[in-house]
Structure 1
Amino acid sequence: MKLLIIAPEQIPVPPRAGGSVENVIHQITSRLPEGHRVTIVSLRRGYLPRKSVSGPVTNLRVPGGSKKRYLANALRRVKGLAFDLIQIDNRPGFAAAVRNAFPHTPIAVFMHSMTFASPPMTTRRKANADFRHADLIVGNSLSLQRSLMSRFPAHRSKIAYVHLGVDTAQFRPSGKRRRGGYRFLFAGRMIPRKGVPTLLRAFKIARKSVPSIRLSVAGGTGKAAYRAFLRRTARRLNVPVRFKGNLPRKRMPAFYRSGDCFVCPSQEHEAFGLVNVEAMASGLPVIASRNGGIPEIVKDGRNGFLVTRYGKPAAFAARMAELARSPELHRRLSEQARSDAERYFGWQLTAAKLMELYAERLKTASAGRRTK
C-alpha cells in the first residue's frame, strides 16, 4: 500500500520535543509491515532537511505560517503523486481540501482526541461536514471511538479505533534498585485539565503518612503564568517538588527510570494517555483517573490503580501512600505493568492493526465500486 500522511501544521516529523501526534506518526511509520510505503508531509524546520528517506518512509517538510498556508504547501508538494490511501492526523478541517485535491483516493482521519472536533476549535456542524469527506475515522481508543460516534452519529459506520503503543526497548525498567525516598512522577502538558494542582495537594496529604516520598514533574506550557502558578502552589503547600521543565523526547526514558510510580490525575476526558503506557513499559505502576481511554490501559489492582473520585486529592493520596508503604504490592504491580505493556501496546502491533484496518477499508471500497 502507498500511504500519504498529512501531519498537523505545528511540529515536524520526527519531533525534537513534545509533539505527541507527530511522535505517533513517526513511531507507527517506523514499524510498517513489509510491503507498505509511506510519504509523510509535515512542517519544515531549519534543523531538518526538506526531504529525507529512510527505507519505505519518505519525509517531506513544507513551510507553514498558518493552517491554510501549510495545507496549501503540503498539497502542492504531493501534487501529481498517486496514493492508495491518505491519512490526515488530528485535523478534520483539512479533509475538504484534501478531497478536492485527491477526489478518488480514500481518506482516513486519525483522531488523537476530541479537541479538533469540538469548540472552540470548531463547531459540531463544521466537524460533521468535514467528516463527510472521510471514508474512515480512526480513534486511538475505544473511548474516543464511542465519543466520536455519540457526537457524530451520521458517521457511526465508518468510525473505528486502534490503540497506540510504546517502544518497549527504549522505555524499560532500570534493573537497578533506586536509592532515596519513594518517588512519584508526572509527565504531560502543563495545562489545567491535566490535574497537576490536584497531584500537588494529593502529594501533601500522602506525605503526612509517608514523609519520605518525593515528586518530579516534567512538561512544558505555553503560558508562563500557569507555570508560575504551579510553582507558587508547591511553595504554598510546602512540598518538595522537582519541576523538570519540557524534556526532550530522548530524555524521557531516563525520566521514567528515575521514579517508582507514575501518577496521571487528568481532570477531563483523556482519549488514550500515551504517558501511561510509557510509564508501564518502564516498570512503573500507574495511579490514574478513571476517565476516557485510561481504563483501557490501566487495570485497577493489576498494573496500577484507577481513581474514580479523581477531583479529590485525598483519593489519589490514599493510593500513593498505600504503594509507597508496600514494597511487595509495588513489585507485583510493577512487573505486571511491564508485562502488559509488552503484550498489548507495542508499536509493531499498532502499525499492523492500522494497516489491516486500511486494507479492509480499501477492499470494501473496491467491492463497492465493482457493484456500481
Structure 2
Amino acid sequence: MKLLIIAPEQIPVPPPVGGSVENCIYQITKQISSEHQVTIVSLFRKNLARKSIVDNMTILRVSGGSKQAYLSNAIRKVKGNRYDLIQIDNRPGFAKAVRQSFPKTPIVVFMHSMTFASSPMTTTQKANADFNYANLIVGNSKSLQQSLIKRFPAHKAKINFVHLGVDTEKFHPIGSSSSKPFHLLFAGRLIPRKGVPTLLKAFGLALKSIPSLRLTVAGGSGKASYKAFLKRTARNLNVPVQFKGNLSRKQMPAFYRTGDCFVCPSQKHEAFGLVNVEAMASGLPVIASHNGGIPEIVQHGRNGLLVQDYHKPSAFAAQIIKLASDSEMRGRLAKQARKDVQNRFNWKLTASNLMELYKSKLK
C-alpha cells in the first residue's frame, strides 16, 4: 500500500521534544514501512533535511508560518502523486483541501483528542462538515471514539478506535532500592487541564504523613506565566518540587527510571494518556484520574490505582500514601503494569491493528 500521512503543522516528525502526535506517526510508520510505502509530510525546521528517507519511509518537510500556509505547502508537495490512502493526523480542518486535491483517494482522519474538533479551535458545525470529507475516523481510545460519536452522531458508522503503544525496549524498568525516599514523577505539558496544581496540593498533604517524599515535574509550557504560577504555588504550599523543564524524547526513558511512582492528575477528558503507558513500561505503578481513556490502560488494583474524585487533592494524597507505605503492593502493580504494556500497548500491535482496520473498512 502507498500511504500518505499529513502531520500537524506545529512540530516536526520525528519530534525532538514533546510532540506525542508526531511521535505516534513516526513509531507507527517504523512498524509498517517494511511492508508499505509511506510518505510523511511534516513541518520543516532549519536544522532538518527537506527530505529524509529511512527504510521505505520518506519524510518530506515543508515550511509553515500558519496552519493555512503549511497545508497549502503540504498539498503542493504531494499533489499529482498517487496514493492508496491518505491519513490526516489530528486536523479534521485539513480534510476538505486534501479531498479537493485527491478526489478519489480514501481519507482517514486519525484523532488524538477532542481538542481540534472543539471550541475554540473550531465549531461543532464546521468539524461535522470537515468529517464529511473523510472515509474513516479513528480515535486512540474507546473513550475518544464514544466522545466523537456523541458529538458527531451523523458519522457514527465511520468512527473507530485503535490504542496507541510504546517502545518497550527503550522504556524498561531497573531494579530499585527500597531504602531511598519515595519519588513521585509527573510528565506532560504544563497546562491547566493536566492538573499539576492538584498534584502539588496532594503532595503537600501526603508529606504530612511521609515527610521524605519527593516530587519531580517534567514538561514545558507555552505560557511562561503558567509555569511561574506553578512554581509560586509550590512555594506557597512549602513543598520541595523539582521542575525539570522540557526533556527531549531521548531523555524520557531515563527520567521514568528515576521514580517509584507516576502520577497523572488530568482534570479534563484524557483521550489516551501515552505518559501512563511509558511509565508502566518503565516498571512504575501509576496513580491516575479515572477519566477518559485512562481506565482502558490503568486498571485499579491490578496495574495501578485510579482516583475517582480526581478534582480533590486529598483523594490523590490518600492513594500516594497508600502506595508509598506498601512495598508489596508497589512491586505487584509495577510487575503487572510492565506485563500489560508488553501484551497490549506496543507499537507493533498498534500498527497491525491500524492496518487491519484500513484493509477491512476501506476495501
Aligned match of 1:93? 93
Task: Measure, in 1, the Cα distance between the counterparts of 2:228 and 2:34.
Answer: 49
Q: What residue ranges of structure 2 are gaps of 5+ in the alignment?
A: none
CA contact (8 A) 1:33 1:352 kept: no
Q: What residue ranges of structure 1 are gaps of 5+ in the alignment?
A: 364-372
CA contact (8 A) 2:34 2:55 kept: no
Aligned match of 2:259? 259
Task: Measure, in 1, the Cα distance between the counterparts of 2:81 and 2:40.
Answer: 13
State the 1:176 CA deviation. 4.2
Aligned match of 1:53? 53
Whether 1:240 aligns to 2:252 is: no
Aligned match of 2:69? 69
State the 1:180 CA deviation. 2.5
Task: Measure, in 1, the Cα distance between the counterparts of 2:260 and 2:274.
Answer: 18
The structure 1 segments of at least 4 consecutive aligned residues displaced by more than 4 Å after TM superposition are: none
Aligned match of 2:109? 109
1:254-333 equivalences in 2 (<5 Å):
254-333=254-333
Task: Measure, in 2, the Cα distance between the counterparts of 1:178 and 1:44.
Answer: 46
Equivalent residue letter for 2:90? N
Task: Measure, in 1, the Cα distance between the counterparts of 2:221 and 2:296.
Answer: 27
Equivalent residue letter for 1:219? G
TM normalised by structure 2 equals 0.99
CA contact (8 A) 2:42 2:60 kept: yes
Equivalent residue letter for 1:277? V
Aligned match of 1:342? 342
| Deviation string, structure 1 residues 223-242 (Cα, Å, up to 9, x no partner) | 11110110011111111111
TM normalised by structure 1 equals 0.96
Aligned match of 2:2? 2
1:221-232 equivalences in 2 (<5 Å):
221-232=221-232
Task: Measure, in 2, the Cα distance between the counterparts of 1:191 and 1:34.
Answer: 38
Equivalent residue letter for 1:147? S
State the 1:178 CA deviation. 6.6
State the 1:150 CA deviation. 0.4
1:99-178 equivalences in 2 (<5 Å):
99-177=99-177
| Deviation string, structure 1 residues 45-96 (Cα, Å, up to 9, x no partner) | 1111000111111000001111111111101100111100000000000000
Equivalent residue letter for 2:204? K
Equivalent residue letter for 1:77? K
Equivalent residue letter for 1:345? F
Equivalent residue letter for 2:175? G
CA pair 254-152 structure 1, distance change in 2 beyond 3 A: same
Task: Measure, in 1, the Cα distance between the counterparts of 2:44 and 2:362.
Answer: 31
CA contact (8 A) 2:33 2:56 kept: no
Equivalent residue letter for 1:236? N
| Deviation string, structure 1 residues 261-318 (Cα, Å, up to 9, x no partner) | 0000000000000000000000000000001000000000011111000000000000
CA contact (8 A) 2:33 2:55 kept: no
CA contact (8 A) 2:33 2:57 kept: no
Please state whether the residue corresponding to 1:45 is helix, strand or coil. Answer: coil
Task: Measure, in 2, the Cα distance between the counterparts of 1:81 and 1:40.
Answer: 13
Task: Measure, in 1, the Cα distance between the counterparts of 2:9 and 2:259.
Answer: 34
Task: Measure, in 2, the Cα distance between the counterparts of 1:226 and 1:33.
Answer: 40
| Deviation string, structure 1 residues 16-70 (Cα, Å, up to 9, x no partner) | 0011110110111011174211100000011110001111110000011111111
State the 1:177 CA deviation. 2.9
Task: Measure, in 2, the Cα distance between the counterparts of 1:133 and 1:305.
Answer: 41
Task: Measure, in 2, the Cα distance between the counterparts of 1:243 and 1:231.
Answer: 8
Task: Measure, in 1, the Cα distance between the counterparts of 2:234 and 2:297.
Answer: 29
State the 1:175 CA deviation. 2.8
State the 1:160 CA deviation. 0.2
CA contact (8 A) 1:33 1:351 kept: no
Please state whether the residue corresponding to 2:72 is helix, strand or coil. Answer: helix
Equivalent residue letter for 2:222? G
Task: Measure, in 1, the Cα distance between the counterparts of 2:336 and 2:27.
Answer: 24
Please state whether the residue corresponding to 1:242 is helix, strand or coil. Answer: strand
State the 1:210 CA deviation. 1.0
Task: Measure, in 2, the Cα distance between the counterparts of 1:185 and 1:314.
Answer: 18
CA pair 232-333 structure 1, distance change in 2 beyond 3 A: same
Please state whether the residue corresponding to 1:208 is helix, strand or coil. Answer: helix
